[in-house]
Structure 1
């Protein structure tokens, strides 16, 4: 399954030689566990969780609730695995995720969810707001995402 994220793709493409794993609500547990198993999320191997957001028509950055909740879901799993070593930003994302009783309802009701539904993409919103539906951890390798081994 591929759900395009133009802003996320731009960020990944500009990351240089950094190791990039793609995470979302769909694979949050898998990504969090993979990061912890590979020693990420510690002082020795810090990790950046980037809630990429969207772009307004004028090119300005538009925060996206679904991206914040996805980063928060990954941060929650990572914190469970490596302890309370997260940055204040990652901790805030985790708290936002944990404080959202119905993630699917929140994503459906947020501005980007409503915009996509109005554009005929209700099924995409429904799928993208599923928590831990997928166990694949996509890694950026030579310009393409492949499943982590």
Structure 2
């Protein structure tokens, strides 16, 4: 990738999707995945309950074998929940489901990004845990030009395709984390990171805005408005899920 695309020289970088992760993640101290209305909020809720979460690519035939090999429960699609499989990509469903020590959580966006990264520490952030993640990363001395943090807004996919749809909720999640990082001593945000932070801090009502956004309306239309409400509870979880040996666990 050309040098201009890497946001080099900045302590906090922000980009979109798997392609953006590959570009700004190069040379970063860590890569933070933000997928607010599904994957990273589900990770935050599960890890806060003490569950170890294994990311896995969406609709991969190996997901069941992968879960069996790790003695883990397998999350299904939101509308596939049953008494036998009560865990899904819905964070509200995870909260309602019985406790499981290990959970395989496939998703087409956040999980696909997390499993595709190599050579950097991977962290799952959302609106529920942005403060805890910022405290953890700055405590490690990250968030400077010498040890940059790459924040990846996962985005969604347009129906019927794999084309990235930039999603407002993920931009706000990236902005919330950037603002918290700066509050905790991180420095030198890129223009992209500064813009995301300004969008978040200047917004009067983040939950209402996301509820009325395209993604919020999509979930409400299919009966999952409770996921939006849960995902927009700011700083409700005090965990920083870090990917260790293929699974997200609470940072010690």
Q: Is TM-score (shorter-chain normalized) higher than 0.5?
A: yes
* Cα deviation digits, residues 25-84 of structure 1 (max 9, x gap): 010111111111111111111010111111112110011111111111110011122254
Structure 1 residues 140 and 83: alpha-carbon distance in aligned structure 2, compared to 1, 3 A threshold: closer
Query: Which has the higher Rg, Structure 1 or Structure 2?
Result: 2
Q: Indicate if the aligned counterparts of 2:142 and 2:186 stay in contact, CA closer than 8 A.
A: no
Q: Do residues 21 (structure 1) and 123 (structure 2) align?
A: yes
2:113 aligned residue: 11
Residue segments in structure 2 that go unaligned for 5+ positions in a row:
1-44, 47-90, 92-104
Structure 1: 4+ residue segments shifted above 6 A: none
Aligned counterpart for 2:237 among listed residues 124, 134, 146: 134
1:61 aligned residue: 164
Q: Which has the higher strand share?
A: 2
CA distance in 2, matches of 1:67, 1:128: 11
CA distance in 2, matches of 1:137, 1:64: 22
Matched residue SS, 1:95: helix
Matched residue SS, 1:21: strand
TM-score by length of 1: 0.95
2:29 aligned residue: none
Residue segments in structure 1 that go unaligned for 5+ positions in a row:
none
Structure 1 residues 141 and 83: alpha-carbon distance in aligned structure 2, compared to 1, 3 A threshold: closer
CA displacement at 1:6 relative to structure 2: 3.0
TM-score by length of 2: 0.57
2:220 aligned residue: 117
Aligned counterpart for 1:48 among listed residues 127, 146, 150: 150
CA displacement at 1:142 relative to structure 2: 1.4
CA displacement at 1:143 relative to structure 2: 1.3
CA RMSD across the alignment: 1.3
Aligned pairs, how many? 149
